[in-house]
Structure 1
Amino acid sequence: MSEQPKPTSAASTSAVTAESEVARLCAELIRIDSTNYGDGSGPGEREAAEYVMAELTEVGLDPVLLESEPGRATVVVRLEGEDAGRPGLAVHGHLDVVPANAADWQVDPFSGEERDGCIWGRGAVDMKDMDAMILANIREFARTGTKPARDTTFAFFADEEAGGTYGSAWLVDNHPQWFDGVTQAISEVGGYSVTLPTPQGERRAYLLQTAEKGIAWLRLRAHGRAGHGSVPNDDNAIVHLAGAVGRIAAHPWPQEYIASVRQLLDGLSELTAVPWADDDLEDLLATIGGAQGFVRGTLRDTANLTMLESGYKHNVIPQSASASLDCRFLPGHEDQLMQTVRELAGEHVDVEVVHRDVALEAPFESDIVEAMKQSLLREDPGAAVLPYCLSGGTDNKALGRLGIDGYGFAPLRLPADLDFAPMFHGIDERVPVESLEFGARVLGDFLRTC
C-alpha cells in the first residue's frame, strides 16, 4: 500500500517547494465550500477531496478517495519511509468546515482573499491551513523523491466538525488497514505560538497538544401535559425544561488539573515569573491572551446549552420541549458527568445521548514530542515548547480506537498581536502567509526526521 515518491524533472523540483506553494493551496482549499451543517444538508467534502486528489496525482502519486456516503469523501495516501521497520505515523486533517454567515465577515468567507499579509476565509484556521501544509509537503516529497523518516499514512478526512461519523470513525471501522503498523499521529490545534511577557522580554512559546477532553452531545427532552394557553397548567414541558436548563447552567463543576494542564501552568509560570495556585489563576492565564479560553475549558468538565426547541402556536402549551447540551469531560470523568447531568435534569426530563467520544491523553515525554520540539527550535531557536490539553476534540479520537497516540501539531509562528485561538469557529478567520510558510518548513523537517 505504501508508495515511493517518483521524482519529476530537475526544473520542476528546483522551482517549487512546500514553502512556495502552501499559501496557494490554502487559498484554493478555502474557495471550495465544504460546510458541514451536521444534518447532512451541506455540500459535502467531495469537491475538496477531488481537489486534493488532483494535486497528489499531478506529482505522480496514486491517492485513494473513499466515500462513506455520496459526497462524504476522504482521501488517503501512504508514503514509504526511510526506515520501514519503525512503527508508522499518521498525519491527518479534515476537509469540512463549520458554517459561516457572510454578513458577519469583513470578506466573503469563501473567497480565500489575501489581505494584510493573511489568507482570509472559513477554514483558514480550522483547518485548511494545516491541510495545505500537509499537501504541500507530500507534493515536495513526491517531486524530489524524498522519503519521510518512517512509513506515513496521510489522510484528509470528511465530517470532523460533526464528530467524524462519516470520516475518521467510518474509515477506522471499515478500512483500518490504512493504519496498519501506525502507533502515533499528528493533526490540528497544536504547535501554534503565543507570545509571553517574561522578565527578559517577550518570548514565544509553542503549545503542543497532548490531550483532549471527551465529548457528550446530549439532548434534554422534557414531557408534560398539552393544553390551552389560557388554562393554568402545573405540568408544563417548557417549565420543566427551563428548570433543568437553569440547574445545569448554575452547577459549579469542580476544578481538576490533569497532568498536561498542570505541566502547562507550571511551564508558563516558570517562563513569565507569574505564580499560580489552584484558586488563583487569573494573572497567569492573562499572559497567553486569547489562548486562555482553550485553557479555561480544560480546568473542569463543562456543559453548555446550545439549542432550544419547543411549541408550535402562541396559545398552545406543548407536550414536549427539548434542549441541546454540549458536554466536554476530562479523562476519566464521563460516568461522573453523565450522572450529574441526569440528576440536575430532574424527573420530568429525559437525557438522550446524541454523540459521544472519548477523552485522550498522550505522553509529553516521548521521542515524537522531542522530534516536534527540535523541528520547531531549528526554525525558532529561542522559543519554548509546552504541552496543553484541548477543550474540543479532533479526529485523533477515532484513531485512538486503534491504539494510536494522537497529538496536535500544526506549527504556526504567529504575530504577537494576532488573537488566533478565538478564530476557531469564529468570524474573520485568517492565517498569516508567513506563518503558513513557517509551518510548511517545520512540518517538512519533522516528517524527514521524526
Structure 2
Amino acid sequence: MTDTGAATPVPSEDEAAALADDAVACCSRLIRFDTSNFGGGESRGERPCAEWVAERLTDAGLTPVVLESAPGRASTVVRIAGADPAAPALLVHGHLDVVPAEPSDWSSHPFAGDVRDGAVWGRGALDMKDMDAMMLAFVRHLERTGARPPRDLVLAFVADEEDAGEYGARFLVEQHPDLFEGVNAAISESGGHTVHLPGGGRLYPIAAGERGSAWMTATARGTAGHGSRHNDDNAVVKLAAAIGRFDGYAWPVRVVPVVAALLDGLSRHLGVTIDPADLSPLGAAADLVSGTLANSVNPTMLRAGYKHNVIPGEASAALDGRILPGTEAEFFATVDALLGPDGTRTGDFRAPVSADHTAPDFAAMAAALRAHDPEALVLPYCMTGGTDAKAFAALGIPGFGFVPGRTPADFDAWQYVHGVDEHVLTDSLAFGARVLTSYLMTDPRVFA
C-alpha cells in the first residue's frame, strides 16, 4: 500500500484489483446462501453461512468463533490483532440474514448470486452481503500482503438483524461481551455511498445517528355486545378514533444536532440557505433529511373481534414509532395523549443512538473516501430506521453507518433494498473494498 501524504494508505493497482475480485466472488457466494429471516424466530440458512465465513477467516490464518443463540441462528466473530495492542479497537459488523424474496417476482433466482451486466444479483446484494464481502476481501488482503492494521479489529458477521436482533447482535452483547473488550467505535450499515447533488457534486453521507424505535401495541377496551344493537362503548370505534388522531397529527420539526450538521454542510456546499420546510434545493439529498426532521408513528396491523355479529370488548393496533435522539420524553407523552383515556400501550423500545461526527474515526472515514474520490463531500446524517448499532450501544460502543460505494446518478439503491431484482454494481463493490481497506489501515489517532 502507498501513503497519500495524509496518513491514509491506498492499495496499489494490483492490490486494488485483487480486492475487487475477492469482493465480487465473496458477494456472489454469500448470496447463494438463502438466509431469509421471516421474523418471529423463523429463519433459514444462517448457520451454514456463518460456518462458511468462519472457514474463509480460518484459511486466512485467523481464529474465528461461531456462536449459536438458538438452533441454526449463528454468528461468526473474529479479532484481528493490530500493530498497537494498546490502541482502542474498532468493531466492523455486518449481518448475514436477509429479508425473504419471492423467486417468481425476480428476473433471475434471488439466491443464484449471478454476476452479469456489471453487477452481482440477488437478495442481500445491497443489504448487506456487499459489506460482508468487502470485509472478507479485506481479510484476504491482509493475508496476501502480510500487513497489520494499526489497531485491533473485531469483525462480526451476525444473525437476525432483519428482525429484532435477539438471536444475533443482542445475543452477542448480552452473552459474550468479552468479545468486544477495548472497542471504542463501530461501523456497519448504512452510509458512505454516493448521493448525487444538484450541480454535479458527490455527497458521501456517513450515519452518525439513528432514530429510535418503539414497536407498540395500542389497545382500546369497551363493552362487548350483540352486533345488531348500538353500543356507545365500542372498542373498535375507540381504536379507529385513536388511529385517526395519529394520522392527523403533525409531529413538530426538531432539528437535532446531527441533522443540523448535514444541513449546514449542504448549505455551504450549495451556496443556499436550506429551509426545513422546503428541501427541494437538495435534490436527491432531500431524502437524507426529510425522514429525520420529526418523530413518526405509523399504524401497521389491526386486530379485533372474532365474529360478524359480536361487538368485541377489545381492539388493538400495531404502531411503528420512530424517535429522534433527545426527544424520547416528548414522543411518549404525545403518543399517550393521542391514544386518549381509553387506550393503553405495550411494546418494545430501543432508544435512538448517536455518535460524535467530530471524532477521529469520522475524520478517518472521510479521508479514506477522499483518497479514492478527491471531490467527495463527506457529511454526517441521521438514519430514519435502525440497525444493530443499537445493540452494541449497550456496551458503550458508538456506531457509524459506513458501507462505502460509488454509483451513477441513475442507480437508485433504495429501489432494490428489500425490493425485487436487488443488485450491487461490481464497480461500486471495487470502490467500496478500496475505501474500506484504506480506512481500516488508517490510525484514527492522527486525526485527533
User: Would you say same fold, with TM above 0.5?
Assistant: yes
How far, CA to CA, are the matches of 1:115 and 1:316 in structure 2?
A: 57
Distance 1:303 1:111 in 2: 37
How does 1:14-413 map onto structure 2 within 5 Å? 17-43=18-44, 45-198=46-199, 202-279=200-277, 281-285=278-282, 287-288=283-284, 292-353=286-347, 355-413=348-406
The 8 Å contact of residues 263 and 387 in structure 1, kept in 2 or not, is answered as yes
Residues 256 and 447 (structure 1), Cα distance of their counterparts in 2 relative to 1, 3 Å cut: same
The letter of the residue matching 2:172 is: L
* Offset of residue 409 of structure 1: 0.8
Q: Secondary structure at the match of 2:441?
A: helix
Q: How many Å separate the matches in 2 of 1:114 and 1:385? A: 30
**Most deviating of 92-101 and 172-181:** 92-101
Q: What's the counterpart of residue 8 of structure 1?
A: none
Letter of the 1:389 counterpart = C
Look up the equivalent residue of 2:392 and give its one-letter code. L
Moved more, 433-442 or 41-50: 41-50
TM-score (norm 2): 0.91
Letter in 2 for 1:312: Y
- Whether 1:437 aligns to 2:446 is no
Instruction: Confirm or deny: 8 A CA contact 2:15 2:141 kept in the other structure.
Output: no
Q: 1:420 to 1:108 in 2, by over 3 A?
A: same
Separation in structure 1 between the aligned mates of residue 250 and residue 77 of structure 2, nearest angstrom: 44
1: CA distance between counterparts of 2:323 and 2:156? 27
Q: Judge conservation of contact 2:279–2:286 (CA < 8 Å) in 1.
A: no
Pick closer, same or farther for the CA change 1:267–1:306 going to 2, 3 Å. Answer: same
Q: Deviations over 1:99-141 (max 9, x none)?
A: 3334443333223233432222221111111111111111221
Query: Deviations for 1:40-72, whole angstroms, at most 9, x for unmatched residues?
Result: 122152122122112212223221000111111
Q: Residue type matched to 1:396 in 2?
A: A
CA drift of 1:92 comes to 0.6
Offset, 1:404: 1.4
Q: 1:444 to 1:14 in 2, by over 3 A?
A: closer
User: In structure 2, what is the Cα distance between the partners aligned to 1:187 and 1:56?
Assistant: 19
Contiguous gaps of at least 5 residues in structure 1: 1-12
Q: Is the 8 A contact 2:300 2:319 kept in 1?
A: yes
For residues 144 and 333 of structure 1, what CA distance do their matches in structure 2 show?
A: 48
TM-aligned CA deviation for residue 93 of structure 1: 0.6
Query: Secondary structure of the equivalent of 1:126?
Result: coil
Whole-angstrom distance in 1 between the partners of 2:329 and 2:401: 26
Letter in 2 for 1:112: G
Range with bigger deviation, 174-183 or 33-42? 33-42
Mean Cα displacement is larger for which, 403-412 or 38-47?
A: 38-47
Q: Check the 8 A contact 1:269/1:284 in 2, yes or no.
A: no
- Percent of aligned pairs sharing the same letter: 49
Secondary structure at the residue paired with 2:42? coil
How many positions carry a matched residue from both structures?
430
User: What amino acid is aligned across from residue 280 of structure 2 in structure 1?
Assistant: D
Counterpart residue identity of residue 237, structure 1: A
What amino acid is aligned across from residue 177 of structure 1 in structure 2? D
Moved more, 432-441 or 94-103: 94-103
* Matched AA of 1:310: A
Preserved CA contact (<8 Å) 1:92 1:187: yes
Cα distance 1:110–1:223, how it changes in 2: closer, same or farther (>3 A)? farther
Q: Does 1:448 align with 2:431?
A: no
Aligned partner of residue 198 in structure 2, secondary structure: strand
CA drift at 1:16: 8.1
Q: Deviations over 1:136-186 (max 9, x none)?
A: 111221343221120111101111122222211111111111111110111
Summarize the Cα distance change of 1:263–1:79 in structure 2 as closer, same or farther, 3 Å threshold. Answer: same
Match of 1:17, SS state, is helix
> How far did residue 292 of structure 1 move?
3.4
Checking the alignment, whether the CA contact within 8 Å between 1:61 and 1:142 is kept in structure 2 is no
Which AA in structure 2 matches 1:303?
Answer: V
Residue aligned with 2:43, SS: coil
